[in-house]
Amino acid sequence: MTSGEHPAVGRQLPIVAVTPFPRAAAGALGDSRLRTNLGRATRTIREKRAAVVAEVPDWELLRERAARVKDDVLDRLPELVARFARAATAAGATVHHAVDAAAANAVVTELVRAQGVDRVVKVKSMATQEIGLNEALAAAGVTAVETDLAELIVQLADDTPSHILVPAIHYNRGQIRELFARRMPGFTADSDDPAVLAGAAREYLRRTFLAARVAICGANFAVAETGSLVVVESEGNGRMCLTLPDTLIAVVGVEKLLPRFADLGDFLRLLPRSSTGERMNPYTSIVTGVTPGDGPRRLHVVLLDNGRHRVAADPVGRAALRCIRCSACLNVCPVYERVGGHAYGSVYPGPIGAILSPQLTGQDAGHNATLPYASTLCGACYDVCPVKIDIPAILVHLRQTGPKPPAERAAMAVLAWTMRDRRRWRAALRTARSGGRPLRVLTRPHGGRLRRAPWPLAAWTAHRDAPLPADESFRDWWRRTHDP
């Protein structure tokens, strides 16, 4: 089995890019409607976020505290995983440990089969998308119905999400009405008014909720101290899934742990403002074990690793595991706004996906090694991140440590050898200036820049001009003008 292959259905995992980012982005740039939809949506979310963040005088202090809590979790990850498992078990839950996607899918599939159902309802969950759970369940004859409205839109379209928070951000309401007319049973409305579309989805889902015996969810946070799962959402579908079915199965990445219940307060202030531009989430559900007569009778928690312990061991890249999936970085990223989420080839798009996917899978999986280059390194993502992930620094780190073509590695080795000795470096500069003089005459109309170079420099000049060496080095100029 190759790196990143989906064990359940024989295909790549949804966090493995099957197309190099530059090629995928080039295709997306040609879609003017996509750019219009993305531009309008991200601009609206940015403005809402900025307004509610400005209301919080201690915002930077909240960010600092949240980052410290998350770093503490990574420092004590095995200890906190064990602590959560003990607390959740004591509260009546059954805890399972999954080392990778294959193990997690096998556990969930077996739990669903044990209930004798062929249909389950789902709360929006990035972890289940990461492991390809819906596809694994389908291979076992089980239909998973997404109940988040945007996820339902994507599912009905046989599409994939393009945004962490707003999976259907690439659709406008006219497209959604046409989709509902084709794929949603009982939909007859002629209007594309959002209230009408939401009402139709509500009627469709209400019947599904009432018939469901098994629900599957993720968790925004998991409290090690109490064994509690915390799920925040805006539509109420999560509350229905968490309370109505007899069996609830939660798939939770181990990085979602918080040490203490008291730590939760800061994150519940940071997350809604950073994600939806709201002061608080409309629905915040906390599930601790099983309570007779209230909620599900069986609670299973699948703690998912899937590369997270390996990422936590990287002193630079580990900060990516602080992520609370708010998507603020996507909404300010100039690259994401122009190409959308599908160009990244992963369920984690945008700046956070460019550092998270390659680390979870290894940069040799698919074309994930191209994702750290999907950035201008402008730093806007770091400025808005509620847990202060220095995404540009991690992008540079992954570029440095990722796979390189043999020719590039050889060129860098020669350059490093040259720069280690002052005499060699000065000799190389003199040679470059001498060789560049004929080219300088030819490129004078272009400001002394080479627009097209022969191989192997052609890969550089295909996207940017190449500056030629100056007629005179700074040292030579200084010596000529200042040294008597």
Q: What is the CATH number of the domain that holds 191?
A: 3.40.50.10420
Percent of the chain, pLDDT > 70? 95
Burial of 94 (C-beta count, 10 Å sphere; 0-12/13-18/19+): middle
Q: In the predicted model, is pLDDT for residue 8 greater than 80?
A: no
| pLDDT mean over 413-438 | 87
Tokens of 125: 């969950």
303 and 429 co-located in one domain: no
Residue 9 lies in a domain: no
Backbone angles phi, psi at 192, to 5 degrees: -105, 20
Residue 258 lies in a domain: yes
163 and 33 co-located in one domain: yes
pLDDT confidence bin for 436, thresholds 50/70/90 = low
Domains identified in the chain, total number: 2
Residue-level pLDDT at 450: 73
| pLDDT mean over 11-35 | 90
283 and 135 co-located in one domain: yes
SS3 category, 167: coil
Q: Give Cβ neighbours of residue 19 (< 8 Å, ≥ 6 apart).
A: 345, 367
Peptide bond into 456 cis (omega under 30): yes
206 and 77 co-located in one domain: yes
From 259, 277, 310, give the residue that closes a domain: 310
Report the C-alpha gap between 448 and 463 in whole angstroms.
17
Return the residue matching tokens 């530059």. Answer: 22
User: 132-141, 185-194, 434-443: lowest mean pLDDT where?
Assistant: 434-443
- In this structure, the dihedral spanned by the alpha carbons of residues 193, 349, 97 and 140, taken in order and rounded to 10 degrees, is 60
Amino acid letter, 125:
S
Backbone angles phi, psi at 443, to 5 degrees: -95, 5
pLDDT confidence bin for 20, thresholds 50/70/90 = very high
Q: In the predicted model, is pLDDT for residue 1 greater than 60?
A: no
Residue-level pLDDT at 464: 78
Q: In the predicted model, is pLDDT for residue 69 greater than 80?
A: yes
Convert the pLDDT of each residue in 213-239 to its tens digit.
Answer: 999 999 999 999 999 999 999 999 999
188 and 49 co-located in one domain: yes
Q: In the predicted model, is pLDDT for residue 451 greater than 80?
A: no
65 and 176 co-located in one domain: yes
Q: In the predicted model, is pLDDT for residue 477 greater than 90?
A: no
Q: What is the pTM of this model?
A: 0.89
Q: In the predicted model, is pLDDT for residue 6 greater than 50?
A: no
Q: Average model confidence (pLDDT) for the chain?
A: 92
Domain that holds residue 267: 21-310
Q: In the predicted model, is pLDDT for residue 457 greater than 80?
A: no
139 and 287 co-located in one domain: yes
Report the C-alpha gap between 298 and 111 in whole angstroms.
10
Report the C-alpha gap between 71 and 255 in whole angstroms.
10
Residue 388 lies in a domain: no
Query: Distances from the Cα of 152 to the Cαs of 89, 159, 194, 234, 398, in angstroms?
Result: 33, 10, 15, 15, 34
Q: In the predicted model, is pLDDT for residue 159 greater than 80?
A: yes
Residue-level pLDDT at 12: 67
Residue 382 lies in a domain: no
Residue-level pLDDT at 378: 97
Burial call 360-384: b when 16+ CB within 10 Å, e when fewer: bbbbebbbbbbbbbbbeeeebbbeb
The CB density around residue 450, as the number of other CB atoms within 10 Å, is 18
222 and 90 co-located in one domain: yes
From 310, 338, 358, give the residue that closes a domain: 310
Report the C-alpha gap between 133 and 216 in whole angstroms.
10
Residue 246 lies in a domain: yes
Residue-level pLDDT at 448: 64
Residue 342 lies in a domain: no
Burial call 18-53: b when 16+ CB within 10 Å, e when fewer: ebbbeebbeebeeeeebbebbeebbeebbebbeebb
12: β partners: 5
Residue-level pLDDT at 3: 42
414 and 288 co-located in one domain: no
Report which of residues 406 and 287 the model is more confident about. 287
149 and 293 co-located in one domain: yes
Report the C-alpha gap between 217 and 249 in whole angstroms.
6
Residue 83 lies in a domain: yes
Report which of residues 115 and 404 the model is more confident about. 115
From 310, 333, 354, give the residue that closes a domain: 310
Residue 332 lies in a domain: no
Residue-level pLDDT at 148: 95
pLDDT confidence bin for 203, thresholds 50/70/90 = very high
446 and 306 co-located in one domain: no
Report the C-alpha gap between 351 and 229 in whole angstroms.
27
Q: In the predicted model, is pLDDT for residue 96 greater than 70?
A: yes
306 and 413 co-located in one domain: no
